[in-house]
Amino acid sequence: MSFSGYRRAPAIAMLVLFAGAMGRTQVAAPTAAEAQAFIEQAERQLLDLGNKASRASWVQENFITDDTEGIAADAQSEYTAAVSDLAEKANRYKDLQLPADTSRKIQLLRLSLSAPAPNNPAERDELTRIAVSMDSDYGKGKVCLPASGEAATSKPNLSGATRAAGSVKCMGLTEVEQIMQTERDPQKLLELWKGWHAIAPPMRPRYARFVELSNKGAKEMGFKDVGAMWRSNYDMPPEQFSAELERLWIQVRPLYLQLHAYVRKRLVQKYGPAVVPPQGMIPAHLLGNMWAQDWSNIYPLVAPPASNTGYDLTQILQARKTSELDMVHYGEHFFTSLGFAPLPKTFWERSLFRKPADRDVVCHPSAWDVDSVEDLRVKICIKIDAEDFTTIHHELGHNFYQRAYNQQPGFYRDSANDGFHEAIGDTIALSVTPDYMKDLGFINKVPGADGDIALLLKKALEKVAFLPFGLMIDEWRWRVFSGEVAPADYNKSWWELRNGYQGVSAPAPRSEADFDPAAKYHVAANVPYARYFLAALYQFQFHRALCRIAGYKGPLHRCSIYGNKAAGARLNAMLEMGKSKPWPDELEVLTGQRDIDPSAMLEYFAPLMKWLEEQNKGEKIGW
């Protein structure tokens, strides 16, 4: 079998064109068998280059230095070049009638990069260097608070974790996030918020260039722009995907609006109408989280007077002197209780569980599958609290998924769509119920039904509060990639979307001297975000299906599939399919349904919705 694609060097390409025009070069007509062999070879080549790039990125994110950045950028550039080259070669087969698997794999090849590069080495290297440098800058970001109480500054280039220099204390994001969980002084919260957002403006010119270069790559790959390319990865036309998100948001928005109005009312009680406008937007620094994407840390401020969750997982974990390693073992234990094999020995040897004191790392939690087979790892700077107890289940969900599909061909070693990957661990974490707490010996007595509203409110602060955030990030990026939002309007459009979707406001005056989007990891690191919105809905749909398979009859929020092998086997049946089929086929295997169905989430929170509507009588809904 011979392949007759184009060479990259322009001079040679011209030569071939010229020879072709002269009629001296005869290229055999493409065949389906040739296409199949081509894609199988591509699969092998990309697995090899992908593993090398993955190993280089692992080292770069664990030991951020100029050298590791360079090594990671080179490996990514090589991988990106191979994808562009193969995608171009695959064009040769575009008019052929191909076996379904072959054409699916060619399409997956075209979609496999989140930052496609121009087919020109200098621009490609520039793109990968920018991408890696923004990821590193985010990882190195620090908030430096002067002991004197002056305004906070950021020092992205200070190395080391926390360091005290004179009267200035510099902290990494993990520490800042931890303080924001419990700090209630608006002034202190504002300093932390401003300090962290100050890491981003230096990334602005690089980001604008990144958009330019990756758009050029997307166009060469046959897409309108990078956003259109991302939206094409859902087994439907990109316009239909946008319409689908709109359909889903309309169904869950009333629940968000009720939660927003209730939380605002309680925050007005706490901070007064001068800080929180009773009919307006909630200032973004008061919600217990840097990005106001998860409000569960302010649960104590909004807790219902007459209902009690019955336990506080953070307190329990800390009182039991739980270690970082113990936390991960709890997560693994849930999966093995469902029938999944334990994690490999190398997982425990190679993962990062603790924030190192003496070097810069990207602490944003991630799960890795370095050799695409069984070299599974996580990288999490674990805090001993309820939030990270959930995060660990989230990350391990990625790892168990990765291992479940490792027998698939290379292009299918992925989730049905990216929302599935994000939903698996969260689905498991929904089974962390009071009953499960008792099974673990964390509590002696399971709280009665009178604790339900409290439990549901706490969960809604995590899951429902997230929904508009999960949508607006990519709404912003899609507009940026399409050119609808120009660099001169980056920050303005960011806040228009945050205001409009979330009903949260910037806590300090903003201008185009700021670049608030890049203070969020997924923007700096170019990770598509619609996946998390999808996952927020899928996880309830998966949970409901698994609870039914387990024969559970009660309310969804009390269901735990812990230890249920039938549920585990059915989950595995979907996971092991990887990306081999369009996602509706895979959704059907687990749930019997072919559409994303927000009714599971609405059913889960139905008692809370009723309660919120009562609490909000006479309140303005919206802002």
Q: Which residues bind ligand X8Z (CB under 6 A)?
A: 293, 365-366, 391, 394, 532
Nearer to Zn ion, 43 or 422 (CB): 422
> In angstroms, rounded to a whole number, what is the distance separating the alpha carbons of residues 14 and 304?
73
Nearer to ligand X8Z, 98 or 361 (CB): 361
* 555 binding partner (options Zn ion, ligand X8Z, none; Cβ < 5 to 8 Å by kind): none
Place of tokens 């081509």: 38
- Smallest gap from Cβ 422 to ligand X8Z, in A, equals 6
- Smallest gap from Cβ 422 to Zn ion, in A, equals 5
Nearer to ligand X8Z, 68 or 293 (CB): 293
Q: Residue 382: which residues within 8 A CB-CB, separation 6 or more?
A: 324, 327, 328, 353, 354, 388, 392
Q: Which stretch binds Zn ion (CB under 5 A): 151-159, 214-222, 419-427, 607-615?
A: 419-427
Q: What angle do CA 605, 417, 84 make, to 5 degrees?
A: 150
> In angstroms, rounded to a whole number, what is the distance separating the alpha carbons of residues 371 and 351?
14
Place of tokens 């200070």: 158
Query: Which residue's CB comes closest to Zn ion?
Result: 422
- Smallest gap from Cβ 333 to Zn ion, in A, equals 20
Nearer to ligand X8Z, 113 or 117 (CB): 113
x-or-dash pattern for Zn ion, window 247-266, by CB under 5 A? --------------------
Q: Which stretch binds Zn ion (CB under 5 A): 112-120, 221-229, 414-422, 443-451?
A: 414-422
Please give the structure tokens belonging to residue 312.
């506080």
- Smallest gap from Cβ 536 to ligand X8Z, in A, equals 8
- Smallest gap from Cβ 398 to Zn ion, in A, equals 6
Nearer to Zn ion, 102 or 427 (CB): 427
- Smallest gap from Cβ 365 to ligand X8Z, in A, equals 4
Q: Which stretch binds Zn ion (CB under 5 A): 252-260, 416-424, 448-456, 483-491?
A: 416-424
Q: Which stretch binds Zn ion (CB under 5 A): 103-111, 214-222, 296-304, 415-423?
A: 415-423
Nearer to ligand X8Z, 299 or 532 (CB): 532
Nearer to Zn ion, 397 or 507 (CB): 397
Q: What angle do CA 500, 503, 506 make, to 5 degrees?
A: 95
* 391 binding partner (options ligand X8Z, Zn ion, none; Cβ < 5 to 8 Å by kind): ligand X8Z
Nearer to ligand X8Z, 5 or 365 (CB): 365
> In angstroms, rounded to a whole number, what is the distance separating the alpha carbons of residues 557 and 110?
40
- Using DSSP's 3-state secondary structure scheme, residue 202 falls into helix
* 365 binding partner (options Zn ion, ligand X8Z, none; Cβ < 5 to 8 Å by kind): ligand X8Z
Q: Which stretch binds Zn ion (CB under 5 A): 239-247, 306-314, 417-425, 543-551?
A: 417-425
Nearer to Zn ion, 34 or 422 (CB): 422
Query: Which residue's CB comes closest to ligand X8Z?
Result: 365
- Smallest gap from Cβ 9 to ligand X8Z, in A, equals 39
- Smallest gap from Cβ 595 to Zn ion, in A, equals 23
x-or-dash pattern for Zn ion, window 422-461, by CB under 5 A? x---------------------------------------
DSSP characters over 141-159: -EEEEETT----EE-TT--
Nearer to Zn ion, 193 or 529 (CB): 529
- Using DSSP's 3-state secondary structure scheme, residue 377 falls into strand
- Smallest gap from Cβ 521 to ligand X8Z, in A, equals 7
> Binding to Zn ion (CB under 5 A): which residues in 119-178?
none
| Number of neighbours of residue 589 by Cβ within 10 angstroms | 17
Least Cα distance to 8 among 78, 74, 73 occurs for 78
> How would you label 345-382 residue by residue, b for 16+ Cβ within 10 Å and e otherwise?
eebeebbbbebeeeebbbbbbbbbbbebeebbbbbbbb
DSSP assignment letter at 352: B
Beta strand 504-505 with 282-283 is: parallel
Place of tokens 């280089």: 56
Q: Are the beta carbons of 545 and 573 closer than 8 angstroms?
A: no
Nearer to Zn ion, 177 or 225 (CB): 177
Size of the site for Zn ion (CB under 5 A): 1
- Smallest gap from Cβ 365 to Zn ion, in A, equals 7
Q: Are the beta carbons of 329 and 217 closer than 8 angstroms?
A: no
> In angstroms, rounded to a whole number, what is the distance separating the alpha carbons of residues 325 and 327?
5
The alpha carbon torsion through 264, 270, 275, 277 (nearest 10 deg) reads 30
- Smallest gap from Cβ 395 to ligand X8Z, in A, equals 7
DSSP characters over 50-95: HHHHHHHHHHHHHS--HHHHHHHHHHHHHHHHHHHHHHHHHGGGTT
Binding site for Zn ion (CB under 5 A): 422
